[in-house]
Structure 1
Amino acid sequence: MMQGNRDYQRDEDAAPVDMLASLFEARGWPCEFVGEDEISGEIKGSWANYTVRGIWRREDHVLQLLCLPDIRVPDDKRTGVYELLALVNEQLWVGHFDIWSNGNVLLYRHGLLLGDEGLLSLAQAQVAVEAAIEECDRFYPAFQFILWGDKTPEEALAASLVDAAGEA
């Protein structure tokens, strides 16, 4: 769990990892610092618990936000999942889904350019994390339809978008 020495007011910007820590603490999401420039937490989504990681690259002024829905892609399903990734990524305005070659893990990834100051506001942190969770929730069923339902990528996407529309 977090140590409470990194508190920030709502109206002040902070170092990206520190602001993510403040957001996680405020929401009651468990998290830990993996290093000086990396934080990892767990957030309950509609379909699963997601690991959310924030990695700050000082030299590039980029905060990389990763959301991992704990889906491993077996070799025999990889082609279908890659086809689905292409279809899903066409639906996204920011971020994208990918498969990490190390462990065949599905993830959502988004890079935030933070400018020369390298500061993140609470509002930016909240919007970025919520968007990652929403996109994982939105497309989680599609990936499950490929992995467990033996649907084609097109069928999986159509079924997940119909389900999502029905939940509204």
Structure 2
Amino acid sequence: MEIGREPLGESEDAAPLEMLAQLFEAHGWPCEFVNDDEVCGEVQGSWTTYQLRGIWRQEDRVLQLICLPEIRVSEAKRKDAYELLSLINEQLWLGHFEVWSHGGVLLYRHGLMLGDGLLGLSTGQLAVESAVAECDRFYPAFQFVLWGDKSPRAALEAALVDPAGEA
């Protein structure tokens, strides 16, 4: 975390990002402030390390969380990836997956509308845990489509199989 930033409470504008940075610090996850409106950190998931970005839009009172699983979608796989995104997004209550048009980067995005209230640590914790859980849940489906040449529907079904018993 960047040294010399205003303590929480002194600047209401930065409070949601400060709270997010405190959450990262409490878990021992590396993070840094990119600028006054953005904090970036790394979270270890089940399949990979995710880059998590918190972007604060003061004028809208919205904290946008973006979780990047370090997956790029090639032009050749875009059609199947978009079909898979559609199937996955139908199952999500909060947030959504998308592929950025420039660079083909896969990401999970969720916006927290905070209104006049501030981001509480429990709200931030739940949002971060939800983002990582959804990326972990669907990471294998993307692997199956992008590198295993499975159809989007088959990839999703294979990724969501619940194991029975213990190994």
1:30-53 per-position Cα deviation (integer Å, ceiling 9, x unaligned): 000000110000011000000000
Contact 1:97/1:106 (<8 A) preserved? yes
Shift of 1:4: 7.3
What is aligned with 2:98? 98
Change (3 A) 1:29 1:89: same
Which amino acid counterpart does residue 158 of structure 1 have in structure 2? E
- State the alpha-carbon separation in 2 of the partners of residues 151 and 3 from structure 1: 47
5 Å-filtered alignment, 1:1-168, equals: 1-3=1-3, 15-117=15-117, 119-162=118-161, 165-166=162-163
1:23-78 per-position Cα deviation (integer Å, ceiling 9, x unaligned): 00010000000001100000110000000000000011100000000000000000
Which amino acid counterpart does residue 140 of structure 1 have in structure 2? Y
What is aligned with 1:11? none
Matched position secondary structure for 1:15: helix
Contact 1:7/1:22 (<8 A) preserved? no
Contact 1:74/1:104 (<8 A) preserved? yes
Contact 1:24/1:31 (<8 A) preserved? yes
- Percent identity between matched residues is 64
Which amino acid counterpart does residue 44 of structure 2 have in structure 1? K
- State the alpha-carbon separation in 2 of the partners of residues 41 and 15 from structure 1: 17
Shift of 1:103: 1.0
The alignment's TM-score, normalised by the length of structure 1, stands at: 0.90
Q: Count residues with an aligned counterpart.
A: 161
Runs of 4+ deviating beyond 4 Å: 4-8
Which amino acid counterpart does residue 99 of structure 1 have in structure 2? V
- State the alpha-carbon separation in 1 of the partners of residues 94 and 26 from structure 2: 25
Matched position secondary structure for 1:166: coil
Unmatched segments (≥5 aa) in structure 1: 9-13
Q: What CA RMSD, in Å, does the superposition of the two structures yield over aligned residues?
A: 1.9
1:111-145 per-position Cα deviation (integer Å, ceiling 9, x unaligned): 0000124x100000000000000000000000000
Contact 1:142/1:156 (<8 A) preserved? yes
Matched position secondary structure for 1:22: helix
